[in-house]
Amino acid sequence: MTTDVEAPPPAKESPKEKEEGFLTLFLKNLWSANTVTVTVLSIFLALVVGAVLIVVSDSEVLGKFAYFTSRPSDALEASWTLISGAYADLFKGALFDPASFQAWFNGSGTWQAAFNPISETLTYATPLVFTGLAVALAFRGGLFNIGGQGQAIMGCVLAGVAGFAFHLPVGLHLLVALLFGVLGGALWGFVPGFLKARTGAHEVITSIMLNYTALLFLGWLILQKGVQDPERSDAISKTIATSAELPALPAPLRVHLGIVVAVLVTAGVAWIINRSSFGFELRAVGVNPPAAKTAGMSVAKTYTLLMVVAGGLAGLGGATQVLGTADKLTAQVAGNIGFDGLLVALLGRNKPWGTLFAAILYGGLRAGGNLMQVDIGISLELVTVLQALIVIFIAAPAMVKAIFQLRAARSARLGASMSKGW
């Protein structure tokens, strides 16, 4: 005769585990290897290495280290003064200067001077949002769109030509010029996408070649009759009509409507990736093209359409550059916004909103770097080194985790706690 053994009652949840709510999990998650923590620590490491480079680049401060053992305070005080002054200027040039706000409040300054730093940051960041999204969107579909520079240049070209060649009412002229910029970038993105879909040509090779083609085309075009400014002998185009310019805040502020467009486009790209059927297809193709083809998706069509959309985004970035910041076409009108977009997308983890914030960070580094150069005399190239260091540390999360001894992320438990409420 067998007797049924009664199963032991389930273990009761300890009071400690029961009381562990969202705040506790958040604090534990703060020093874990999650994306936010790794990104913040990567920026911190870049600033630390940058501080060392600032000291090394200054011969006067470096000379005080010659007698460091006999009087270390001289070298340490000089280093701290230089580093703190440099990073203070970086902050003042990127966000705000407390002295400017104080002058505005007591009537000795203007509000334009107070908001000029953030205006410069957003001005530099605006085109980078679009070129960064062009890279991020393509990457989600398994393509490496390194041709954002050429696509942005073509966006500048078509938007600029539409800006001074057409005579349309205010509002309509701006809309037409922006659409021409999108069209220019989309056509330049179509070529590598089509070649990838039909012949298997690698998009990195074809898009790099198209970058040079676009730059040479721009250099040729601005010297042609009807495009070149008749009052100038150098390579520069006619001035864009005011009806095609993006509305901006009063001078000397340069921030314009393009930053609003950038936020709206970021929201649209996020919706496309996460909510639309095209976004589902591009993510499926990006993860596993053979499986997507087996499921009935056209990989070739997705590749082509993806590069067209990505090119259109980069072209829109070029359009905002020429219609908002510059008012003429020059050989360097696009700057390096296409190549900087690669770094912005990487810093933003190829996510739309992450790309937006990364572009603002890069814009702040550029705006603050200008003040560092003027006020202290630190080379602007050092800011470029800071940007590169940030990307290097973010691209090597294992190194950051090892340096700071980060534990495994607790995102699952934190997410469960959030779903249950605080």
Number of domains into which the chain is organized = 2
Query: Which residues constitute the domain of residue 420?
Result: 34-94+380-422
Do 136 and 51 belong together in one domain? no
Do 384 and 257 belong together in one domain? no
pLDDT(10) > 60: no
Task: Return the H-helix or E-strand segment holding 352.
Answer: helix 352-375
Do 331 and 385 belong together in one domain? no
Do 143 and 46 belong together in one domain? no
Note whether residue 6 is domain-resident.
no
Do 135 and 253 belong together in one domain? yes
For residues 405 and 72, the model is more confident at 72
Closest CA to 180 of 148, 158, 163: 158
Note whether residue 165 is domain-resident.
yes
Do 81 and 154 belong together in one domain? no
Summarize pLDDT for 302-319 with one digit per residue, the tens: 999 999 999 999 999 999
Q: Specify whether the CB–CB gap between 145 and 307 falls below 8 A.
A: yes
Q: What is the pLDDT of residue 246?
A: 95
Note whether residue 150 is domain-resident.
yes
Do 297 and 346 belong together in one domain? yes
Note whether residue 361 is domain-resident.
no
Do 421 and 333 belong together in one domain? no
Note whether residue 154 is domain-resident.
yes
Q: Specify whether the CB–CB gap between 348 and 133 falls below 8 A.
A: no
Among 318, 338, 355, the domain-final residue is: 355
Closest CA to 37 of 397, 386, 418: 397
Closest CA to 254 of 353, 304, 196, 326: 326
Do 348 and 415 belong together in one domain? no
Among 304, 338, 355, the domain-final residue is: 355
Note whether residue 401 is domain-resident.
yes
Cβ contacts of 274 within 8 Å, gap of 6 or more? none
Do 59 and 206 belong together in one domain? no
Mean pLDDT of 227-246: 93
Mean pLDDT of 174-201: 95
Q: What is the mean pLDDT of the chain?
A: 86
Summarize pLDDT for 57-116 with one digit per residue, the tens: 888 888 888 888 898 899 999 999 999 998 998 899 999 889 999 999 998 889 999 999
pLDDT(17) > 60: no
Tokens of 342: 């690669």
Q: What is the pLDDT of residue 11?
A: 55
Alpha helical stretches, state H, 141-224: 148-165, 172-199, 203-221
Do 258 and 304 belong together in one domain? yes
The pLDDT confidence band at residue 413, using thresholds 50, 70 and 90, is very low
Summarize pLDDT for 342-373 with one digit per residue, the tens: 989 988 889 999 999 999 999 998 898 888 88
The pLDDT confidence band at residue 421, using thresholds 50, 70 and 90, is very low
Do 155 and 47 belong together in one domain? no
Note whether residue 64 is domain-resident.
yes
| Predicted TM-score of the model (pTM) | 0.85
pLDDT(144) > 50: yes
Q: What is the pLDDT of residue 28?
A: 59
Note whether residue 22 is domain-resident.
no
